Amino acid sequence: MKQDFMQGKKPRNNKGQKHGLWEIYYEGKIFRKGEYVNGLRHGPWETHYNGGLYSKNIGQYINGERIGFWQWFQNDELKIKTFYAR
């Protein structure tokens, strides 16, 4: 694992929980980006594989659960679109 895998913004609240915008990098390129609220993923999230050149997924979380439409791309072509209900 490269040394920069977890470099980037990683704010926490006063309880030490992940809170705010998190950016995780791998080999100098964005790997994952999204917001935490009191330790839970909340709001839009993106994950990029191979720097986003090969595949990525995009979707929303509410209180740590996937919600709404999630999209998986490969070579910038939409491959899968899934809906998550509560």
- Contact status, residue 83 vs residue 77, Cβ threshold 8 Å: no
User: 12 with 19: CB under 8 angstroms?
Assistant: yes
Would you kindly state where each structural domain of the chain is located, as residue ranges? 20-84
Burial 21-40, CB ≥16 within 10 A → b, else e: ebebbbeeebbbbbbbbeee
Per-residue pLDDT reduced to its tens digit, 23-81: 888 888 888 899 999 999 999 999 988 766 567 889 999 999 999 999 999 888 899 99
Which of the 8 DSSP states describes residue 2?
A: -
* Residue (of 15, 14, 76) closest to 50 by Cα position: 76
Say if pTM beats, i.e. exceeds, 0.85. no
